[in-house]
């Protein structure tokens, strides 16, 4: 190759590299959330697509975050023990340790739930979509459950098989208990699906949410 051609090729490569850098998407700095209000799964329907994000209100000012850039810290203060009530046996044996983000607000812990504020009323059949937990990777089982009048109702439970799903109404906002049966790092994979009023089914992509316990 002549010197002129080599210079031309080098220049073209440099331009391509520069353009590639310029076109690369900007990413927010990773953040760890450990206390305050957070809609871990934030469901939105925009431009014909279902999307899952994370709605952070831990500072008092709402911030929409990419779940890939967030670690949800379940602090040591979340540790408790499995009650002797047989209705809670899905958490383990009575007296076993379990780490729970509670459905009632504890200022020392994450106040965690899900929301569908950005799902417009009238867009979907039944005015709702389904939120699915499709996979859990971690050192132990994970369950998400409500408690009313002292009795639990499971919403998601990796211990009895996945996927599990719940109906989420347009505009809904729901807080619940998130239970982890051991310390360590977990990844929970969620997906949303719904049927539009014209009969078209739409699905979000599968989105990973990252937790560290202890």
d(CA 148, CA 209): 27
By CB atoms closer than 10 A (0-12, 13-18, 19+), residue 211 is buried
DSSP state at residue 126: G
Q: What is the pLDDT of residues 13-35, one digit of tens each?
A: 333 333 343 333 456 689 999 99
Handedness of CA 33, 74, 114, 173 (dihedral sign): negative
Encoding tokens for residue 57? 């209100």
Beta carbons of 177 and 147 less than 8 angstroms apart: yes
Strands 184-195 and 207-213: antiparallel
Output the pLDDT for position 105: 96
Q: How far apart are CA 127 and CA 121, in angstroms?
A: 6
**pLDDT tier for residue 81 given thresholds of 50, 70 and 90:** very high
Q: Percent of the chain, pLDDT > 90?
A: 85
pLDDT digits (tens, 9 = 90+) for 104-160: 999 999 999 999 999 999 999 999 999 999 999 999 999 999 999 999 999 999 999
pLDDT digits (tens, 9 = 90+) for 50-73: 999 999 999 989 999 999 999 999
H or E segment and range at residue 16: helix 3-23
Q: How far is CA 27 from the centre of its chain?
A: 18
Nearest-5° Cα angle at 24, 207 to 137: 20
Q: Would you place residue 191 in the very low, low, confident or very high pLDDT band (cuts 50, 70, 90)?
A: very high
Q: How confident is the model at residue 194 (pLDDT cuts 50, 70, 90)?
A: very high
**Mean of the per-residue pLDDT values for the chain?**
90
d(CA 72, CA 213): 9
Residue 5 has pLDDT above 80, yes or no: no
More confident residue, 27 or 90: 90
pLDDT value of residue 27? 60
């Amino acid at each position: 190759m002549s010197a002129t051609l080599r210079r031309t090729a080098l220049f073209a490569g440099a331009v391509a590299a520069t353009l590639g850098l310029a076109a690369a998407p900007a990413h927010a700095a990773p953040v760890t959330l450990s206390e305050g209000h957070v809609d871990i799964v934030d469901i939105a329907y925009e431009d014909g697509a279902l999307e899952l994000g994370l709605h952070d209100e831990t500072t008092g000012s709402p911030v929409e975050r990419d779940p890939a850039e967030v670690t949800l810290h379940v602090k040591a203060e979340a540790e408790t023990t499995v009650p002797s009530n047989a209705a809670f046996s899905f958490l383990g044996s009575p007296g076993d340790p379990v780490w729970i983000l509670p459905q009632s607000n504890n200022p020392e812990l994450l106040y965690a739930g899900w929301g569908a504020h950005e799902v417009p009323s009238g867009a979907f059949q039944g005015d709702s979509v389904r939120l699915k937990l499709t996979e859990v990777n971690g050192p132990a089982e994970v369950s998400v459950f409500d408690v009313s009048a002292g009795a639990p109702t499971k919403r998601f439970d990796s211990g009895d098989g996945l996927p599990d799903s719940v109906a989420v109404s347009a505009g809904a906002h729901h807080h619940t208990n998130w239970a982890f049966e051991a310390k360590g790092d977990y990844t929970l994979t969620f997906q949303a699906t719904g049927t539009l009023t014209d009969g078209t089914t739409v699905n979000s992509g599968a989105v990973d949410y990252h937790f560290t316990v202890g």
